[in-house]
Structure 1
Amino acid sequence: MTTIDHREKEVLSGDRDAGEAPDFADANEHPSLRIPFSVAIDGRAYEGVTLSMVGARIAGIAAANWAGASKLALFRFNFNGFSLSLPIDVVVASSDSETGAIALRFRDPTGQHMPQIRYLLNCWLAGDHVTFNGLIGAPSALQKEKTPTSAAVRRPGSAALARTVGTLSVGLASIALILFTATALNNRLYVTEVNAPALVQRQGLTMKATASGQVDFINPSAPSGKPAYSILASTGVAVTVSMPCDCEVQTTGIERGATVLVGQPILTVNKHGAPLVVQSSLTGLELRRLAGGATAQIETRDGRKVDANVLVDRASAPSGELLPVTLVPIESLPDVPPGTPVVVRLDGSPGWVRAMTNSLSYFRGTK
């Protein structure tokens, strides 16, 4: 075993070299504490034995030529959930290659590491929480031994209340997740959106061409009983249609001189204040879904959803595979101007799924 005592050397010589450890009387002024730590020197790990403000004692495999050597040691302190590493310049005061006992002295005990070492040693003695800049913290081992369940012992009522609130919060979050999941699956499996355009209109009467020919006269402002439009048929006979009432009139873009076919809409009339309906078209497959129990649903721009009854206009000529229909809302539609586009969906979901979806809609305020 080779031991070099720099303190004795300085006392005898009266001065010290810049590379040597300073002369601190750590026996009385800086007591050594058995605090858990480890040290890494030259890539090799050593177990910490004691630590003071001016040095440390470690154990491990010691090289024979280490005594008196200057090293950069990385001190590591492990806590629950985090660790602290401090690089410190040290001088190997003594090393025993047989027992592995190594004594280290800090080259500059008042260096940048001093506040952290002092704080750790003081907290270890007092049993306080160890924190750094208010970001992380953990109780020391001594603190855990003294007060293992102090919070639970002091306020059992608060702990029970916190557990109850936590259980309720988890339950409510689980219910909300189930409802949202059920809604997403329902929309994917049972709900289809009608591709044909759907427009809001006033409920009324559609005046159509009673013969094929050329429009010879049209007057959307005609009073009740007066000619509204006249069609000159290809046979040379003029067919005149009178206005059925004093009501609101919407034109379909037909003007004098236009050629029309029998059954083609020319004017739409409705009484003042008539309820709003939706004009759209459905395919044969969509009509079969309605016959199978699906429900037609109208959704407005503001997200309001209203179920509707479907009336098929069999007198109108189908446009390809589409058949004109009128959707009469079961509840009144919001006050939207006629001609406003809306979304029409066919909902064929089971009753219990539809009830759950409606409950979620009420909860979200969209119905």
Structure 2
Amino acid sequence: MQLIHEAEVQRQHPRLRIPVSVELKGERYEASNISVSGLGLPPEAGPLVRGARHDLVLRIPFNDFEMSLPIKAEVKHGGGETLGPGLCFTDVTRRQQSFLQYVVNGYLSGQMIRAGDVFDVAARDAFVPSRPDGAAKAGGGAKARFKKVVGLTLLTIVGLSCFVFVGTSIAERTFVTEAAGTLSSRHSVVVRAPLAGLVRSLLVAPGTDVTEDTVLAVIESELGAVRLVQSPCNCVLATTYIADGEYVNVNQALVGMTPDSAAQVVVAQLPLEAARHVKPGDDAFVDFLDGRQSVAGTVERVKAASIDPNSYGGRSFNTPALARIEVSLSEDLPVSEIGQPVALRISSISRTINAATALLKE
């Protein structure tokens, strides 16, 4: 055996000089060289027409037997006076390719090939699925590119959503103050108890329009005296501070009345530590418990909360100091809703941006 090395042309498979006979057109020739993909014939076998296809029979001798392998081949070069024709195997089946590879490897390694080994190679299927081409895998088809674009788009959307969520959370923690408040009016009138006793009847519910001298409640003193509590104006009963059967003291607040033309404000109380971030002119948003659309407003006043005259001794020393926040609304609401609890969100973002813009201009 002799290994032929060609420096000018690097072949995919090495050509070997092994004793193989080739039957071509009824004639038998000794192959000058053979590989897994083709063979060379001696000059006397030519010339052959380039591109022509022929049916060959390879006869490969072993120690105690000879193996015949029918195979098809195509002429790659027709040959000449000193160089014989070169043929490339075509339409090679998987079993033919497996057998040729086994024979070539056996001759390269010097392995003794027996008849049982040949039958075993011919019977088995040692092929595995081919790996995808690197260029095709890198480029991909239209479907692969579409999946890639969709994946990148989804990843970008998720990234932007996380960025917006984190940014919004930081902004809300830094520039937004939340509080619970009540829809009220600056022109409200508090009707108080004219004497101490039990409230026998509370005749008017919150949200009711009443005229002057309308009876609001009936109070019976301990001595049996009965007093009627009447409305001092043509108003809307905004809220009640007592219930039927409750004992009240003299001058204790019974109900709150609001004139029909009174403007509404939202009143909330915050600890002074939280209220120091709130300034008049800040934007505010009022959310209602019934889920209706939020109403915009503006912070008008920030001042210390007054002591409730109806409490016993006012605020104790253990109670934290509070600030009273008043917010005017951008639209009028029904007076009947005065006294309703609301959620208040106060934002200082606009004030901060305006201050930063003014600082940059300077």
TM-score by length of 1: 0.46
Please say which structure displays the higher CA radius of gyration: 2
Give the TM-score, by structure 2 length: 0.46
